[in-house]
Amino acid sequence: MNLHRCKNYKEMSALAAELVFGEIEKSPDLLFCAASGGSPRGLYKHMVERSKLDADFFSEMNIIKLDEWVGLPADSSFSSEYDIQEKLLKPIQHDLTRYISFDSQTKNPQIECDRIQDELEESGPIDICILGIGVNGHLALNEPAEFLQTYCHVSKLSESTLSSGMIEKVGLPLAEGMTLGMGNIFESKKLILLVTGKGKKEIVNQFLTKKITNELPASLLWLHPNAEVILDEEVLK
């Protein structure tokens, strides 16, 4: 694993974009795993700007969504779908036949996870997986637990996740999410973890001890041979 320390969010996002662009230049049809939320927002802005300069740069790229809340309408501004559509897919005019996505409105989340797993086994492995770290150290919606799930699964949301400011604003009772598992993530050829955001100083300091535990799922990234962890040092202030 490579740890990059950046002085701020802007520098972190620029470095992430540089790494992503380098991989796309080598493999234009790669499978890109997109995370939602504030951490990759700056990266996606760089990708949108690149598409304005070169309309075909992302034309062969395939995209899979990292996770999704169960029970949110896809057009809810709090859904991962809405977030990724508005920040990345629509601005780069991505061909949706090259997009794999969890359906938040599915009546059977486990069957939906099985469908995504089948899609990934056919199209994968992931070439670049974009990740953020939760306030409790989760990766995607792989929450701290006695044991972690390998493949796509329905995740019971932890109290710390449910008490986050974003969840409180949703206005709907949420209890579960659908997510790629730790095996799906670890099978990725390259991982890019963007470490930024308010209220994460304590968990980031725990991560930096390099102690590996299921109680801090992100700590397992220390074991991945091609993980790029990009730290916005403002998190530690």
Under DSSP, the state recorded for 174 is: -
Q: Active site residue: 62, 83, 94, 138, which one? A: 138
Q: Active site residue: 62, 67, 94, 142, which one? A: 67
Domain total in the chain: 1
Instruction: List 132's β-bridge partners, or say none.
Output: 194
* Nearest-angstrom CA–CA distance, 51 and 189: 24
Q: What are phi and psi of 107, to 5 degrees?
A: -85, -15
| Residue 78, pLDDT score | 86
Strands (E), 56-182: 62-65, 67-69, 99-100, 128-132, 153-156, 176-179
Report the candidate in 146, 26, 119, 17 with the shortest Cα–Cα distance to residue 65: 119
| Residue 74, pLDDT score | 65
Contact 235, 195 (CB under 8 A): yes
Known catalytic membership, residue 136: yes
Q: Active site residue: 143, 184, 228, 232, which one? A: 143
- The model's pLDDT over 123-178, given as tens digits with 9 standing for 90+, comes to 999 999 999 999 999 999 999 999 999 999 999 998 877 776 555 566 667 889 99
Q: What pTM value is reported for the model?
A: 0.95
Q: Active site residue: 62, 136, 142, 184, which one? A: 136
CA atoms within 13 A on the CB side of 59: 5
34: domain CATH number is 3.40.50.1360
Contact 51, 92 (CB under 8 A): yes
Residues in the chain with pLDDT values less than 50: none
Known catalytic membership, residue 67: yes
Domain span holding position 230: 2-236
| Residue 172, pLDDT score | 67
Known catalytic membership, residue 54: no
Collapsing DSSP states into helix, strand and coil, what is residue 24? helix
Known catalytic membership, residue 127: no
